[in-house]
Structure 1
Amino acid sequence: MNRTYLICLLTIMPFISCKNDKKTDYNDQSEEAVEKEISKSTDNTQTKDLENNNKKAFSWDNIPESTADIGAYPYITPPKGMTEDDDNSKSYEFDKLEMFDGNTFFIIEGKVRRMSIIMEGDKEWQQYLFDKSVSDYLKSIGAKLIFDGQIPNELTGKWGDDPNTVYKHMHEFYAGDVVNHPVSLYVLKTANKKIGFQVSSNSRTIGIVEKEDFTQTIEKVTADDILDEINNKGYATLHINFDTGKSRIKADSYDVIDEIAKMMKANTDLKISIEGHTDNVGDEISNMKLSKNRARSVLMALIDEDIDESRLKSEGFGQTNPIENNSTEEGRAKNRRVELRKI
């Protein structure tokens, strides 16, 4: 009996050994496959990282200098048979446009023109005429095409967390719809100019920016400045910021209030009339009321600075005395003012 059991055991042992060997081979193959997959994944990640690191920022040094006669700003006009839509074209003394060279985004600051192009008369829009005319002309003056196509959605999607934020970015930095349509982006460098062009064929727009350094033009208003203007002209013009449509003085304008108070304390015989003025946005009755309330707010702020109320009076004139044309934003901004008149 024991001999029979031993024979059977010796008979089946090779099969058990083979099975274990196969299992070991299988495990070895699986581990090798996993190691290869990990290695492949690591290589891919390293490759992507290398690609990202190799993305070079835009440099004007890499743009050839044009010696062509590029004419005067904005350096391009609509093709023959087309014209600018004055209602939708905008000019800015200092603004910005964003450019894309296929790798990175970069901003050019300076003088900006956003052209909206339409056909003359009631003619049908000529797409190919627009595209070829603009591209051929820009190339003829030495502009370099740095991107042509639709900016990838995965990149424009990074402009915001929702569609509204994305479109806000687009409208701030681009002359046309570059989220849904292709755009052609050019740069032009001459001996003393650096210029960017955005050509949005489907949007029928051309954006032009001439690079300029920003120059700060805001100067601190001092008590002496205010007094000198009053003595020379009989009144001083100040631009005090209020909440939109309201009479509450914004925090950034209390420095001006401090300077007015300083002037009044240094000149104890001086009496002034505080006069409010508005632009023509809104109805005339509301603007009259708003100007009176704003002038009164300045008066009360000076009283809070220990200026005797007997030396002050306030009045509002609404939109009746503009000093600039209300048809432009610049003109309207100048019309929204407070005048201190000597009495």
Structure 2
Amino acid sequence: MAAKPGFDINSVPVSSVALPPFPYLAYPDKLDDGYKHNTQDSDFDEVQLIAGHDLRTVEGKVSRRFFPHNTIGMSAIGSVKNHENAIKLLGGVLVNDIVPADPEFRKLHPEQDSVLAQKMHLPGISNGGKNYHVYLLRTDKTNIWFVVSIFDDDNLTWLLTVEEKPLQQSVGFIKADAMAASLQTQGHVALYLPFDTDSDVIKAEGKTAVDEIVKLLRADSKLQLNIEGHTDNVGAAAHNKTLSLARAQAVVKAITAQGIDATRLNALGLGAERPLQDNANEAGRAKNRRVELVKR
């Protein structure tokens, strides 16, 4: 069987419709306030959703909401159709050609339901993975994704909105003298360099951290370091290990490009083998996605 082509985001036309405030979709008018449930929203998070026939990772502002549509006499299909009509009026287009519970999809992603649900920000897979709908709304400024899915024996509607946007950096990078102190007392220091998602490309804002590592090495000509790449546990272990090594190598390349002898550096990829915190939530996973300098 021939491989199915990947999803082309440009196949979705750009909408010129004036949009309401984020998260763009309102609860049904008849729904009592006590049934309006908002989980913790995030100004910046990562979500994997289905576009075409496979997962696509998107980053940005995220809203997660759910409500029991049966309390207002609304059926599951009625809820789906209501939300679909509202999204289409804004210019959104249905973009998933497969659902999480489909055997074809599970062959590509055989991990446990709980792991997959965590990546997709869903309450589950087996109990609602057959009624799952992803819509894309493109504007001249960003992409907005909507996920409408049904859970709890077809009685609960789960709404996920992701407005793509870059991270607003709020944490500064550690300076060379602080790195030196940590290496002296602990033998290692963790750095959170910004990379593109699932990529070994260091983002432009990471140059400051690289410059500080170079200052560290120039200040101590005898210092030798292992540059260790670490990931969270989302995705295949082999892929994470390969990615972590590629990121460590990218850091070495950026350092040696400024004249540091490559023999003083050794790149290692450890994947998710040495987490700093629990991978069960995004805060822990963010701490585990790091590059460590380890004194040799």
Q: Could you state the TM-score of these two structures normalised by the residue count of structure 2?
A: 0.51
Matched residue SS, 2:41: strand
Partner of 1:198: 147
Determine if the alignment matches structure 1 residue 154 to structure 2 residue 107.
no
Equivalent position to 1:72, from 21, 33, 58: 21
Equivalent position to 1:218, from 171, 177, 188: 171
Determine if the alignment matches structure 1 residue 132 to structure 2 residue 81.
yes
The amino acid that maps onto 2:42 is Y
> 1:158 deviation in Å?
3.8
Which of structures 1 and 2 has the larger relative contact order (alpha carbons within 8 angstroms, sep 6+)? Answer: 2
> 1:188 deviation in Å?
0.4
Equivalent position to 2:135, from 163, 170, 186: 186
Please give the alpha-carbon distance, in whole angstroms, between the structure 1 residues aligned to 2:16 and 2:38. 33
List per-residue Cα deviations over 1:183-228 (Å, max 9, x = no partner): 0110000111201111002341010000112344321356999xxx
Partner of 1:166: 113
Structure with the higher helix share, 1 or 2 = 1
Please give the alpha-carbon distance, in whole angstroms, between the structure 1 residues aligned to 2:187 and 2:23. 37
Q: Structure 1: 5+ residue runs without aligned partners?
A: 1-47, 226-248, 255-328, 331-343
Determine if the alignment matches structure 1 residue 175 to structure 2 residue 122.
yes
Determine if contact 1:79/1:133 at 8 Å carries over to the other structure: no
> 1:155 deviation in Å?
1.8
Please give the alpha-carbon distance, in whole angstroms, between the structure 2 residues aligned to 1:84 and 1:111. 25
Please give the alpha-carbon distance, in whole angstroms, between the structure 1 residues aligned to 2:29 and 2:90. 18
Please give the alpha-carbon distance, in whole angstroms, between the structure 1 residues aligned to 2:144 and 2:85. 17
Please give the alpha-carbon distance, in whole angstroms, between the structure 1 residues aligned to 2:190 and 2:9. 40
The amino acid that maps onto 2:140 is A
List per-residue Cα deviations over 1:309-328 (Å, max 9, x = no partner): xxxxxxxxxxxxxxxxxxxx
Give RMSD over aligned pairs. 3.5
State how many pairs are aligned: 179
Please give the alpha-carbon distance, in whole angstroms, between the structure 2 residues aligned to 1:90 and 1:79. 20
Please give the alpha-carbon distance, in whole angstroms, between the structure 1 residues aligned to 2:132 and 2:161. 13
Q: Percent identity?
A: 20
Matched residue SS, 2:172: coil
Determine if the alignment matches structure 1 residue 101 to structure 2 residue 54.
no
> 1:76 deviation in Å?
0.8
> 1:99 deviation in Å?
2.3
> 1:150 deviation in Å?
3.3
Please give the alpha-carbon distance, in whole angstroms, between the structure 1 residues aligned to 2:25 and 2:97. 19
Q: Structure 2: 5+ residue runs without aligned partners?
A: 179-185, 192-281, 284-296
Matched residue SS, 2:48: strand
Please give the alpha-carbon distance, in whole angstroms, between the structure 2 residues aligned to 1:84 and 1:136. 25
Question: Aligned in 2, Cα 1:251/1:92: closer, same or farther, shift over 3 Å?
Answer: farther
The amino acid that maps onto 1:212 is K
